[in-house]
A and B are shown apart, each in its own frame.
Chain A
């Protein structure tokens, strides 16, 4: 069924973090513990689904020239609402996420899906797409956080694990560990799915600055691909 396919593509085939490589900043920053990761993933998913719905509903009304500022205003409004909810009902999560909660506004995943999908498709399909992408994002975050927390801190969701807690690899919970685990995870995903499309097929088109970016970034990558 097309809806199911729409949903599952965000989880595996076009996982926003591991395949499309969008939204890397919050991934690296909030994957230090599983609870933070799940909280961040949930917040981003809510914003993504709602913004996709609203933008898809308004897609015929928003003029093309000012669409990016419009999307940004909509997303910023949603993020402010989610921020207030989190501050009220989960203040510890708000403290541990820090500035990454308001930074969901500039998360490439949300702007990218709005630009690439929600502005061209119906409301229900956009909602499903948003939910799939959000779930994929949460899954990738959970995976990274699980590795970093279990081996770096010896705990899982705060519960200590017998052998690992005494032999922590603390570097994993710090900055370098984040980069390393992320790189290794993408390498594993590359190995498992050799047939997956390259980033240049999807990633650059999803980014709102695609016309500008293609001049410096994607053209570099196209050069490299051509030379290889």
Chain B
């Protein structure tokens, strides 16, 4: 139980997927301007991460490993994720149209995102059990959410200011991300000593 909480908290704060692992930067920089978009995107990411892990972990441990097909990991994972997301989108459109309207736009965008493929591969390389892998994915998604929400606040604060010409657009956003990332570094060392 303690291990699960440690995995969850470290995925959210210390090894934050966006701010320390550099996964999912493209949506982070692209969608974090408006708070609504940021939250919608993050919820979609959490959802996709969870179902992707639920699908790929059993495939790795019951299909690929026993038959010594470990080298097919990359191909199988990305295909499974792409197919799964497409399926989810179709199901949502048919049965829960309201949810499809709010989340559906982001689903194709997340399919080829490093964050989702990254979390599925990391779960395997860290040798997590199924429950640990699910908790890790949940934590990564939550970390993504926190980073996005915080960052959209930072960006809206920058908006009204006087920015030098060369810095307008992406450079000032990246410098702001640097400072946000720096603030997250402060969490290092807290989690391990929480249960010491």
Interface residues of A (CB under 8 A from B): 21, 24-25, 28-29, 68-69, 72-73, 76-77, 79-80, 83-84, 99, 102-103, 105-106, 108, 111, 171, 174-180, 182-184, 186-188, 190-191, 199, 208-209, 212-213, 215-217, 220
Given known contacts A79-B74, A103-B117, A183 and B174 CB-to-CB distance under 8 angstroms = yes
The answer to whether B185 touches A183, judged by C-beta atoms less than 8 angstroms apart, is: no
User: B79, B113, B182: which has the most chain A beta carbons within 10 Å?
Assistant: B182
Interface residues of B (CB under 8 A from A): 19-26, 29-31, 33-34, 37, 71-75, 78-79, 82, 105-106, 108-109, 111-114, 117-118, 121-122, 125, 164-167, 169-175, 177-179, 181-182, 184-185
With A108-B26, A183-B174, A217-B30 known, 18 other A-B pairs at CB within 8 A are: A24-B25, A25-B23, A25-B25, A29-B21, A68-B82, A76-B79, A99-B121, A102-B121, A103-B23, A105-B78, A108-B112, A174-B185, A176-B185, A179-B181, A183-B171, A184-B171, A187-B171, A190-B167
With A and B bound together, what is the CA distance between A6 and B89 in angstroms? 39
Given known contacts A183-B173, A186-B174, A76 and B181 CB-to-CB distance under 8 angstroms = no
With A and B bound together, what is the CA distance between A170 and B174 in angstroms? 19
With A and B bound together, what is the CA distance between A179 and B71 in angstroms? 33
Please classify the interface of chain A as helix (H, G, I), strand (E, B), loop, or mixed, using the class held by over half of its residues. helix
Given known contacts A79-B74, A183-B178, A188-B166, A72 and B171 CB-to-CB distance under 8 angstroms = no
> Nearest CB to that of B27 among chain A residues?
A217
By Cβ-Cβ distance, the 3 closest A-B pairs, closest first, are: A183-B174, A179-B178, A187-B171
The answer to whether A180 touches B79, judged by C-beta atoms less than 8 angstroms apart, is: no
Please classify the interface of chain B as helix (H, G, I), strand (E, B), loop, or mixed, using the class held by over half of its residues. helix
The answer to whether B31 touches A186, judged by C-beta atoms less than 8 angstroms apart, is: no
The answer to whether B74 touches A179, judged by C-beta atoms less than 8 angstroms apart, is: no
Question: What residues of A have a CB within 8 angstroms of the CB of B179 in the complex?
Answer: 176
The answer to whether B105 touches A216, judged by C-beta atoms less than 8 angstroms apart, is: yes
The answer to whether A212 touches B109, judged by C-beta atoms less than 8 angstroms apart, is: yes
